[in-house]
């Protein structure tokens, strides 16, 4: 049976960190007990072998994969934050909801009037912009609706 | 000769202030160490890589939890060892380990005294030792890896595992004794 007192000192003995007195005492005990001596020797060999184990090289795409995961996380976070912000606003403020709804209706209505015939802006070309006399039909021509020929030119 | 290498603590501080490049530098600096530590602990490369990814991801998420009172490496190894411990517990529920892959021909005996082929012998030693290490109980295994392979000080190990210094020293000796027993059960009898 190994004395615990010495068992606890094996690593310190191997690493040579025992005080001079402790080291002498340890060696005295070790030399008296051959089984203990064998244990110390075996542990010393195992320790040396463990120290010889080298670092394992990680895969070359390790950092790339990690950055990809982080980017994904960040993108999801931004999206989730926006979603929760919007849902928070809508769930907490009825006034805001009403204002938002009203604004939306106004925008839609405005867009509808701007691009529909009600506003008189449905012509692709605004004839008021024609100042070129060569292509404009003069007022007198437009008045002679009973004589369509006149509208085409001065053939008379 | 002066050492111009930026310390880990400066890098993590920069990262806390929003510099992601500093984070990448820390990952590059510790990638192999963490993968090796996790591989020694898990005895499985895929798990080691996954857990290493998880460790660095946690560092990213919890960067503000890091306090300068500890070294960055202490904090990093604490995260890695906690994740590994949890993962191993999950795995143990699912499967039991086998030692059949050590030596199909049962020739592990005398493996440590093969003096004719040093390189082969050294590889076998590492393989058997790694396997024996994986058989150790968590409390012993983690201390042996941190101390003998990662070569961390007792003080740092005591902080990582949140154990008194005396307990760490005691466990390392008992762990080594148990490791020897496992090796003897494998048939390794004749040491050099």
Q: What is the pLDDT of residues A108-145, one digit of tens each?
A: 888 777 766 554 444 444 444 444 444 334 444 443 43
Same domain, B17 and B91: yes
CA distance B140 to B168: 9
**Continuous H helices in B95-136:** 118-135
pLDDT at residue A87, rounded to an integer: 73
B36 to A12: CB separation less than 8 angstroms, yes or no: no
pLDDT for A81 beyond 90: no
Distance of CA B18 to the CA centre of its chain: 30
Q: Following DSSP, what letter does each residue of A35-83 receive, concatenated?
A: HHHHHHHHHHHHHHHHHHPPPPPPPTTHHHHHHHHHHHHHHHHHHHHHH
Same domain, B167 and B106: yes
Report the pLDDT averaged over residues A44-69: 89
Same domain, B71 and B145: no
Check if A63 contacts B (Cβ < 8 Å).
yes
pLDDT for A103 beyond 50: yes
pLDDT at residue A117, rounded to an integer: 54
pLDDT at residue B14, rounded to an integer: 96
Q: Give contacts of B169 with chain A, Cβ < 8 Å.
A: 8, 11-12
Check if A47 contacts B (Cβ < 8 Å).
yes
pLDDT at residue A52, rounded to an integer: 83
Check if A67 contacts B (Cβ < 8 Å).
yes
pLDDT at residue A108, rounded to an integer: 83
Same domain, B128 and B144: yes
pLDDT at residue B107, rounded to an integer: 42
Distance of CA A137 to the CA centre of its chain: 62
CA-closest candidate to residue B131, choices A36, A46, A7 = A46
Comparing A66 with B4, the larger pLDDT belongs to A66
Q: Which helix (H) or strand (E) holds B86?
A: helix B72-94
CB nearest A63 (choices: B24, B60, B149): B24
Same domain, B92 and B121: no
pLDDT for A150 beyond 50: no
pLDDT for A13 beyond 50: yes
Comparing B82 with A81, the larger pLDDT belongs to B82
Inter-residue contact B189 to B113 (CB < 8 Å): no
| Gap from A100 CA to chain B (nearest CA, Å) | 35
pLDDT tens-digit map of B114-158: 444 555 556 677 788 888 998 899 899 999 999 999 999 999 999
Inter-residue contact B149 to A51 (CB < 8 Å): yes
Same domain, B109 and B189: yes
Encoded tokens for A104: 């939306």
Domain assignment present for B69: yes
Q: What is the DSSP letter of A89?
A: H
pLDDT at residue A50, rounded to an integer: 87
Provide the residue ranges of all domains of chain A, joining segments of one domain with +: 4-52, 62-119
pLDDT at residue B64, rounded to an integer: 94
Same domain, B56 and B87: yes
CA distance B4 to B27: 19
pLDDT for A68 beyond 90: yes
Check if B138 contacts A (Cβ < 8 Å).
no
Least confident of A44-48, A146-150, B46-50, B147-151: A146-150
Same domain, B175 and B138: yes
Same domain, B160 and B73: no
Mean pLDDT score of chain A, rounded to an integer? 74
Q: Give contacts of B56 with chain A, Cβ < 8 Å.
A: 66
Q: Report ipTM (2 d.p.).
A: 0.76
Report the pLDDT averaged over residues A22-40: 93
Per-position pLDDT tens, chain B of length 192: 556 789 999 999 999 999 999 999 999 999 999 999 999 999 899 999 999 999 999 999 999 999 888 899 999 999 999 999 999 888 877 765 444 444 444 444 444 444 445 555 566 777 888 889 988 998 999 999 999 999 999 999 999 999 999 999 999 999 999 998 998 888 776 555
B173 to A63: CB separation less than 8 angstroms, yes or no: no
Check if A50 contacts B (Cβ < 8 Å).
yes
Check if A153 contacts B (Cβ < 8 Å).
no
Burial A54-75 (b: 16+ CB within 10 A, else e): eebebeeebeeebeeebeeeee
B192 to A8: CB separation less than 8 angstroms, yes or no: no
| Gap from A6 CA to chain B (nearest CA, Å) | 10
Q: What is the CATH number of the domain that holds B55?
A: 1.10.1740.10
CB nearest B170 (choices: A8, A41, A62): A8
Number of domains observed in the structure of chain B: 2
Check if A64 contacts B (Cβ < 8 Å).
no
Output the furthest CA–CA distance in chain A (Å, rounded).
143
pLDDT at residue B98, rounded to an integer: 47
The predicted model scores a pTM of 0.68
Same domain, B90 and B126: no
CA distance B137 to B143: 10
Residue where a domain terminates, one of B96, B114, B149: B96
């Amino acid at each position: 049976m190994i004395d615990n007192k010495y068992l606890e000192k094996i690593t310190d003995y191997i690493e040579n960190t025992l005080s001079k007195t402790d080291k002498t005492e340890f060696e005295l005990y070790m030399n008296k007990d051959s089984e203990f001596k064998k244990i110390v020797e075996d542990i010393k060999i195992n320790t040396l072998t463990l120290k010889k184990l080298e670092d394992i090289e990680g895969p070359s795409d390790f950092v790339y994969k990690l950055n990809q995961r982080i980017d994904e996380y960040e993108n999801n976070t931004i999206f989730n934050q926006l979603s929760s912000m919007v849902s928070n606003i809508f769930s907490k403020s009825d006034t805001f909801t009403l204002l938002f709804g009203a604004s939306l209706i106004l925008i839609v209505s405005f867009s509808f009037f701007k691009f529909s015939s009600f506003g008189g802006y449905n012509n692709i070309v605004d004839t008021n912009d024609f100042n070129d006399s060569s292509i404009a039909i003069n007022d007198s021509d437009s008045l002679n609706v009973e004589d369509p020929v006149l509208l085409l030119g001065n053939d008379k | 000769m002066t050492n111009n290498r930026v310390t880990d603590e400066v890098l993590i501080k920069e990262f806390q202030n929003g510099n992601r490049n500093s984070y990448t530098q820390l990952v590059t600096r510790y990638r192999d160490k963490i993968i090796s530590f996790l591989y020694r602990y898990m005895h499985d490369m895929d798990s080691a890589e996954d857990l290493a990814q998880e460790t660095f991801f946690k560092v990213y998420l919890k960067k503000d939890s890091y306090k300068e009172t500890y070294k960055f490496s202490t904090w990093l190894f604490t995260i890695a060892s906690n994740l590994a411990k949890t993962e191993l517990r999950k795995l143990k529920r699912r499967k039991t380990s086998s030692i059949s892959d050590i030596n199909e021909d049962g020739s592990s005996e005398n493996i440590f005294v093969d003096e004719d082929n040093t390189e082969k012998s050294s590889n076998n030693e590492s393989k058997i030792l790694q396997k024996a290490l994986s058989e150790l109980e968590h409390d012993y295994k983690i201390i042996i890896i941190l101390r003998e392979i990662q070569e961390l000080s007792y003080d740092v190990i005591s902080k990582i595992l949140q154990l008194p210094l005396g307990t760490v020293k005691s466990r390392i000796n008992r762990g080594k004794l148990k490791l020897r027993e496992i090796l003897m059960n494998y048939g390794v009898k004749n040491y050099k």
